């Protein structure tokens, strides 16, 4: 489940980054993964 969530967040972030030509969506995806990692461990 963790691997699927990580893949989905990164894939969506990269897709939006390319579409919007801005790094903000990928930064948001990475921040969400970081927040989830710190909550669970």
Structure tokens at 13: 């972030």
- Cα(23)–Cα(16) distance, integer angstroms: 9
Quick one: pLDDT at residue 14?
93
Quick one: pLDDT at residue 5?
83
3-class secondary structure for 1-41? CHHHHHHHHHHHHHHHHHHHCCCHHHHHHHHHHHHHHHHHC
Quick one: pLDDT at residue 27?
93
Quick one: pLDDT at residue 16?
94
Q: Which residue has the tokens 């963790």?
A: 2
**pTM as predicted:** 0.73
In tens digits, what is the pLDDT along the chain, a chain of 41 residues?
Answer: 778 888 988 999 999 999 999 999 999 989 988 998 888 76
């Amino acid at each position: 489940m963790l691997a699927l969530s990580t893949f989905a967040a990164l894939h969506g972030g990269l897709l939006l980054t390319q579409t919007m030509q801005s790094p903000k969506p990928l930064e948001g995806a990475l921040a969400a993964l970081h927040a989830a990692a710190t909550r669970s461990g």
